[in-house]
Chains A and B, each alone.
Chain A
Amino acid sequence: MSAAPAYSEDKGGAGGPGEPEYGHDPASGGIFSSDYKRHDDLKEMLDTNKDSLKLEAMKRIVAMIARGKNASDLFPAVVKNVACKNIEDPNQLIRASALRVLSSIRVPIIVPIMMLAIKEAASDMSPYVRKTAAHAIPKLYSLDSDQKDQLIEVIEKLLADKTTLVAGSVVMAFEEVCPERIDLIHKNYRKLCNLLIDVEEWGQVVIISMLTRYARTQFLSPNQNESLLEENPEKAFYGSEEDEVKGPGPEEAAATALPARKPYVMDPDHRLLLRNTKPLLQSRSAAVVMAVAQLYFHLAPKAEVGVIAKALVRLLRSHSEVQYVVLQNVATMSIKRRGMFEPYLKSFYIRSTDPTQIKILKLEVLTNLANETNIPTVLREFQTYIRSMDKDFVAATIQAIGRCATNIGRVRDTCLNGLVQLLSNRDELVVAESVVVIKKLLQMQPAQHGEIIKHLAKLTDNIQVPMARASILWLIGEYCEHVPRIAPDVLRKMAKSFTAEEDIVKLQVINLAAKLYLTNSKQTKLLTQYVLSLAKYDQNYDIRDRARFTRQLIVPSEQGGALSRHAKKLFLAPKPAPVLESSFKDRDHFQLGSLSHLLNAKATGYQELPDWPEEAPDPSVRNVEVPEWTKCSNREKRKEKEKPFYSDSEGESGPTESADSNPESDSESDSKSSSESSSGDSSSESDDEDEEKGRSSESEQSEEEGKRKKMKKRKTVAEGHREGSSSDEGSDSSSSSSESEVTSESEEEQVESTSWRRKTPPSSKSAPAAKEISLLDLEDFTPPSVQAVSPPTIVSTSLATDLEGLTLTDSSLVPSLLSPVPGVGRQELLHRVAGEGLAVEYAFSRQPFPGDPHMVSVHIHFSNSSENPIKGLRVGTPKLPAGISIQEFPEIESLAPGESTTAVMGINFCDSTQAANFQLCTQTRQFYVCIQPPVGELMAPVFMSENEFKKEQGKLTGMNEITEKLTLPDTCRNDHIVVQKVTTTANLGRVPCGTSDEYRFAGRTLTSGSLVLLTLDARPAGAAQLTVNSEKMVIGTMLVKDVVQALTQ
């Protein structure tokens, strides 16, 4: 801005106020003639005695400056009025406004005036003026950084301010001017912690971020003994959240390896910070929540970090930009503290309407969260994503599957097979991505995957995507020892089609030829020479060069030879497997929530997050002389705490302010303080006690250190053992699978899969039915011991069905009706032996039966394991007890060998558990079968409120009430499990209820529509009482029996 010359010019012409003066200034004169008058007005307004006019004028000037208009001719008027008069105005708002205007003038000439004004304002009586002074500090600093020392003095003074209004602004100034002067914070640390909750949101963010850095320099790491906390059975002291943190990470192993240190006791100031920031997790502002989350992540003991997960997950409902930032941070956190987000796994599921960038971040988080236990769920979810229309997202999903496969050995084969399947995808991107990932996976343990390489070899006949062909050829060449018979054949085929191939494929053909020549020259010598000759005359010079170069290397000639002796080493050097890891790994060396973290690069002005000190600096530096903190009575403490919220702050005692302050609010605060005092007292007292307790139990914990350390050690040994054995199993199973010859086509694969199914013992059939197409479906995953039997075959089953799923979507006519609710088991209706190859199972789908609401809909699953097609499958004449009726399923014309299908039929059981007997007919045979429903399937859930429930329950007492006492086993004391067990047993709806130990469920029987109300009153020790109210006493009695059995099992 050209204010300086204008100013001097004004000075020169100061003699004549009025038109002539303006005439001197041609720059603004010609264009903004209307501004003149305006400016004249403004000057007049500034000179009046009326507050409102002055304020108005100031505002207009600021607005003009903001719009980039030249307000320089007003400069002397403003400075005169502001510096000399308004800065001393009796009204605090005018003083503040004046300072704001003054400090917004970016002209070096006024630096001394500004400095003076700031200093004065910093000791103003009004906190609002002091706040404005704090805001002016960075402005002056950016204008003239030589003023730093003086400004630091002002900052120091303002940091000592006790009002919430000033706190945020002064910390902001501190961060801009002298973030390195951490010593200024000591004396104000406790005060800042205590004021924090009442500071406005923007200030909170700045203060929290600064305090995070401060704490890192002043306190000891709370996790130095984390392994002890980890295994501590009495950890309930820390609240419930730490249950979520589990799974020993590598850091702990390191911690145990360290020599025993002196017991760690958390500094009470460190605790104070954690305690006072925690409520802010419930702020409406995403920035504040994130600030607290990062503070906890960087400062809290591992066991306490879990509390932030819930709040962060909440932010995922916010605007997509907020989601983007939060997900980036969650991605980083979830690598270090996976357990924390595991309970919220489903909150990261992806919707087709999410923007791609959000999808990819969610995918990242899901991948980080995947572990041994949840991998089936995660992979099933990925399976849906693979068919998305958003191809970038599909590519990312494939990468994610690859990462899951490398991290979790158990599913490696499954993932690999799933990926192989994707090679037949139509989309080039998908294929290319799959090949790349498969290549990486195979590199990790090539010996065990001979058959996949064979499979890939076969695919060369079909896959046209050059990138994929090239990758396959590379793989075959690299691992030609594992496929000694197939590799030369592939080369033969490729030699045939060589001229028609794309360039990248040609290069790989040459590569393959060279490698084969080196390992198996007997069979491939001629082929190699043929390929090389073809390449010699290729149109592309790269290929000609490569051919020449390769020939020199592998074929020993007269002159050379030195190199060809090492050719094998050159071509077949062991290549390290690429590492598949998260791009968010180690990003936490940046302070979370910061711009630098988001960009993964240091931003200008980023303050490094220091490492924890080895030895704690002297904590007494934070002691304040005035014993208001440590020794003050509770009353005083309350005053300090409550005041900012409910009353005008203390600085406002000046006589002029009292006129402004609202009399109403004064009386308000009086009545308030009296009403509030009692509760305030008690709460702060209990706070103190808590702290005491905390400290004592912490030290107790550390005493037991040694003992636990031993335990821990033993545990790790055991774990190591287990790991070893499981990997053994893995290799066993895969070697057994590689023995089986894989010359088969996919048809054969199917046969194999059915034969496997035949072999399974009937007991496994009661497991949740895995019927849906399942590229990666792991529903049939059982604990490792069982799995060891034949996992590869399981995989091929799902692959076979997947093929079906990918190509024959039309065949499933009413998909919504065709799959049972997970959790409701499938029962056998007709055994394969009795049915001469026809196996029939049924399951209750719990969906309304279309057409007749009184009917229970039953899914019947047929599979044909005989050699011949089964024709004309239908229901024969049923012989039914009175009242029971059946809605038959449409006749199934034919079921080919090895195929299976599902049909839906409806049965009205008339609210009884009598079995429905009927015949299943084929063209040639009739089978007598019967379906007997568990009592829980005879009802449908009803939605009702707690009040309605109680009202209805009141009507169904006496004879209609059946009560049973039971003891819940330990495994069954968690809300989720109880609800799940009850709803699995009976098709009832949960009634929301306020108290945590009571569970209510409601439903109506299907035929008569009588209410069935179930109440479970669980007491803490595991004792529980189950009550069922229903008009249908028989149903009630049976239901009680079933539910008790389910809960106590």
Chain B
Amino acid sequence: MIHSLFLINCSGDIFLEKHWKSVVSQSVCDYFFEAQEKAADVENVPPVISTPHHYLISIYRDKLFFVSVIQTEVPPLFVIEFLHRVADTFQDYFGECSEAAIKDNVVIVYELLEEMLDNGFPLATESNILKELIKPPTILRSVVNSITGSSNVGDTLPTGQLSNIPWRRAGVKYTNNEAYFDVVEEIDAIIDKSGSTVFAEIQGVIDACIKLSGMPDLSLSFMNPRLLDDVSFHPCIRFKRWESERVLSFIPPDGNFRLISYRVSSQNLVAIPVYVKHCISFKENSACGRFDITIGPKQNMGKTIEGITVTVHMPKVVLNMNLTPTQGSYTFDPVTKKVLTWDVGKITPQKLPSLKGLVNLQSGAPKPEENPSLNIQFKIQQLAISGLKVNRLDMYGEKYKPFKGVKYVTKAGKFQVRT
């Protein structure tokens, strides 16, 4: 299946390669570079490239390209999913998935890749099993290793691989047993010029941080489970229980993981918490334009909206912007990407934050036809905008009493205002 993997950084250096079958020459990446050049933008490099003897399937994550070499028919998503899993694992092990982190831990990286694929077919991809096989680096361990010459390879046998709950390692012990859940909801929306909602949808996830000893069997229930329109589950969840009782019943992996992600049906009208008044205009042949936006809270829900950031990709002809924010600070990158970022902070309803001023255009160039869209980020603590509420968490199979906690937060997802 997956023949080889090349890691390539933004400047086009192949800084790591791994072959699971025979060695494929680096020159195969030339096809990739060619496609990259053609695409102009990193985002537009096609994920699947066909070359005379191979197929290249690549992902772009954290400024790195993971380019895999395939020789025969395989579902592209299979490979893409795996590559993302590799990147997730690096992130998990090294705290970041960057060229520096990978180079610093090159031995562990090779060990991981070796365990994750066997002859090109995925073998151990669950973080709990991998951590049994290969210990994540810590400062102490790397010091000890360099003195004693031992490696990070685990010295106990990875029994997790044998079990039928491969996501959980055996013999977990904690002095403080805790189970925390974060309900994070993101509002995806397209708001049109006139302020009406073209499209809005809530995408939610429940991330768990479980530090429980032994083999706990948890069940999590909701006050209003019917809100969840479409759910995808971590493999640990018993699907039948959900189907029949709408209860999430599972033996959790150890540590941090994503329990479910869900979508709240767009049939329920989504409450949009902010509105934007905007007036962006460019005058014909006058080399300047006006820019004026104001943000206000829309629904009175008694929670403050914070962490507001507005990002605008201005048209190419914009040379500079002279703006005055009533609140927060703004930056404009006039050279490369022409991105305006306004870091607003919190909204206080008494004084709505606004950003006004002039836009300098390249003289002589025709005025832009389209006004740029505004991308908005915000955050509301202690609120799940869909109204989803966890009812209770029960634990079976173990005798101790765990600490339990649920946190709610609502954020803007892909939230775009057309102007």
Contacts and interface: CB of A to CB of B under 8 A. Distances in A.
Interface string A281-305: 0111111011100000000000000
A51 B154 CA distance: 12
A144 B175 CA distance: 54
B73 A605 contact: yes
Nearest to B417: A816
Contacts of B136: none
Interface stretch (B96-104, B176-184, B271-279, B324-332): B271-279
A49 to B, nearest CB: 15
A605 B70 CA distance: 11
Interface residues of B, number: 136
B85 to A, nearest CB: 9
Interface in B247-291: 258, 261, 263-264, 266-269, 271, 273, 275-279, 281-284
Contacts of B300: 942-943, 1004
A976 to B, nearest CB: 5
A943 B58 CA distance: 44
B238 interface: yes
Contacts of A103: 119
A356 B41 contact: yes
A55 interface: yes
Interface string B158-195: 11011111100011000000000000000010101111
A879 interface: no
B114 interface: yes
Contact of B418 (A346, A384, A595, A818): A384
Contacts of B23: 68
A355 B43 contact: yes
**Listed residue (A51, A164, A990) with the most chain B CB atoms within 10 angstroms of its CB:** A990
A484 interface: no
Given A353-B375, A660-B159, A814-B279, A347 B199 contact: yes
Interface stretch (A59-67, A232-240, A709-717): A59-67
B416 A351 contact: yes
B281 A93 contact: no
Contact of B263 (A55, A62, A314, A322): A314
Nearest to B201: A347
A848 B272 CA distance: 14
A782 interface: no
Contacts of A279: 239, 243
Given A202-B122, A314-B263, A595-B55, A815 B199 contact: no
B196 A821 contact: yes
A995 interface: yes
Contacts of B20: 66
Contact of A595 (B74, B165, B170, B275): B74
B313 interface: yes
A621 to B, nearest CB: 27
Contacts, number: 342
A772 B164 contact: no
B185 to A, nearest CB: 11
Given A59-B111, A389-B370, A202 B78 contact: yes
Interface in B147-161: 151, 153, 155-159, 161
B269 A990 contact: yes
Interface in A103-161: 103-104, 106, 126-128, 135, 138-139, 142
A601 interface: yes
A627 B233 CA distance: 34
B220 interface: no
A172 B279 contact: no
Contacts of B159: 93, 660-662
A127 B163 CA distance: 10
B113 interface: yes
A287 B238 contact: no
B75 A290 contact: yes
Interface stretch (A410-418, A431-439, A664-672): A664-672
Contact of B118 (A100, A201, A819, A821): A100
Nearest to A353: B375
Interface string B370-406: 1111010000000000111100000011000000000
Given A353-B414, A645-B164, A287 B119 contact: no
Contact of B240 (A321, A326, A683): A683
B345 interface: no
A409 to B, nearest CB: 27
Contacts of B18: 66
Interface stretch (B6-14, B26-34, B224-232, B356-364): B224-232
A989 B269 contact: yes
A211 to B, nearest CB: 14
Given A813-B279, A944-B301, A996-B226, A321 B59 contact: yes
A847 B275 CA distance: 9
A365 interface: no
**Listed residue (A60, A201, A661, A848) with the most chain B CB atoms within 10 angstroms of its CB:** A201
A668 B171 CA distance: 13
B78 A287 contact: yes
Contacts of A607: 73
Interface string B306-317: 000000010110
A352 B278 contact: no
A700 interface: no
Given A51-B157, A647-B164, A992-B387, A320 B43 contact: yes
Interface string B38-50: 0101011011101
A819 B194 contact: yes
B279 A284 contact: no
Nearest to B199: A346
Given A324-B47, A993-B224, A945 B389 contact: yes
A556 to B, nearest CB: 50
B251 to A, nearest CB: 8
A162 to B, nearest CB: 12
A957 B412 CA distance: 37
Nearest to A387: B370
B77 A994 contact: no
B310 to A, nearest CB: 13
Interface string A795-839: 000000000001101100111111111100000000000000000
A325 B163 contact: no
A284 B55 contact: no
A286 B77 contact: yes
**Listed residue (B195, B275, B277) with the most chain A CB atoms within 10 angstroms of its CB:** B195
A209 interface: yes
A320 B229 CA distance: 23
**8 pairs of A and B residues whose beta carbons are closest in the complex:** A994-B224, A992-B387, A605-B72, A819-B194, A355-B43, A943-B299, A387-B370, A943-B301
Interface of B: 1, 18-23, 39, 41, 43-44, 46-48, 50, 55, 58-61, 70-78, 80-82, 84, 107, 110-111, 113-114, 118-119, 121-123, 125, 151, 153, 155-159, 161-166, 170-171, 188, 190, 192-196, 198-199, 201, 203, 214-215, 217, 223-227, 229-235, 238-241, 243-244, 258, 261, 263-264, 266-269, 271, 273, 275-279, 281-284, 296, 298-301, 313, 315-316, 366, 368-373, 375, 386-389, 396-397, 414, 416, 418-419
Given A284-B235, A819-B195, 5 more contacts: A202-B82, A205-B78, A325-B47, A347-B266, A355-B41
16 contacts: A59-B153, A60-B151, A62-B114, A205-B78, A282-B239, A286-B77, A286-B80, A287-B78, A311-B230, A426-B366, A595-B70, A607-B73, A648-B164, A815-B419, A942-B299, A989-B269
Interface of A: 51-52, 55-56, 59-60, 62-63, 66-68, 91-93, 100, 103-104, 106, 126-128, 135, 138-139, 142, 164-165, 169, 172, 197-198, 200-202, 205, 209, 279, 282-287, 289-291, 310-311, 313-314, 317, 319-322, 324-326, 346-347, 349, 351-353, 355-357, 381, 384, 387-389, 425-426, 593-596, 598-599, 601, 603-607, 644-649, 652, 660-662, 664-665, 668, 671-672, 675, 679, 683, 772, 806-807, 809-810, 813-822, 847-848, 850, 941-947, 975-976, 979, 983, 989-996, 1004
